[in-house]
């Protein structure tokens, strides 16, 4: 049985887009957590819908943008990543000032703060990562013909 109206991969992608809009309106820990938890778990909906070969889904999960998003999601849920080979990403909020942020973390945009994640030796803006993750999913959906496919158990509801 599906959770309320979240039944298909497309439902989850639409939810991720709504969560991204909330981040744009109010960049806070709740909205960031909700976005990354949603966007990472689209994988589960695709797997259960059975519309994409597992090998293609596994290849998608190796993308660096997905892996960093997954690490943010899992760190939000579990505080510290403990599985072998996984490192808890460092996250910081910096005033949007070149003199207050570490090298590579300053952003010259209009926002007062920069929400940054440090992983793999580089800083990435959290909103940049969120947008990259949505673009990655949209491309995946297009390439694999993912639409409103429902898992067999949901179709019987």
Residue tagged 């505080």 (tokens): 79
Q: Which residues pair with 115 in a beta bridge?
A: 93
pLDDT at 22: 95
List for the chain the helix, strand, coil content (%; round to 5): 50, 10, 35
* pLDDT tens by residue, 115-126: 677 677 777 888
- Decide: 146 and 140 in contact? Cβ < 8 Å: yes
For β-strands 113-119 and 122-125, DSSP reports them as antiparallel
- Whole-model pTM: value is 0.77
Residue tagged 């995946």 (tokens): 140
Q: Which residues pair with 94 in a beta bridge?
A: 114
pLDDT at 66: 94
Give the chain's radius of gyration (CA, Å): 17
**DSSP state, 82?**
-
Q: How many CB atoms lie within 10 A of CB 46?
A: 27
Taking the domains of the chain in order of start, what are their residue ranges?
A: 9-82+127-155
* pLDDT tens by residue, 37-91: 999 999 999 998 888 999 999 999 999 999 989 888 877 564 454 555 655 555 5
């Amino acid at each position: 049985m599906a959770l309320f109206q979240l039944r298909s991969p497309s439902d989850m992608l639409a939810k991720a887009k709504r969560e991204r809009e909330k981040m744009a309106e109010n960049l806070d820990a709740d909205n960031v957590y909700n976005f990354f938890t949603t966007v990472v778990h689209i994988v589960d909906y695709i797997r259960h819908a059975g519309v994409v070969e597992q090998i293609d889904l596994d290849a998608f999960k190796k993308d660096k943008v997905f892996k960093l998003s997954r690490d943010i999601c899992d760190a939000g849920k579990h505080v510290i990543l403990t599985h072998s080979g996984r490192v808890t990403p460092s996250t910081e909020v910096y005033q949007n000032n070149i003199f207050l942020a570490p090298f590579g973390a300053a952003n010259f945009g209009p926002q007062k703060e920069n929400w940054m994640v440090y992983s793999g030796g580089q800083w990435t803006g959290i909103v940049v990562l969120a947008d990259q993750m949505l673009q990655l999913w949209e491309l995946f959906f297009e390439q694999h013909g993912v639409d409103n496919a429902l898992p067999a158990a949901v179709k019987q509801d």
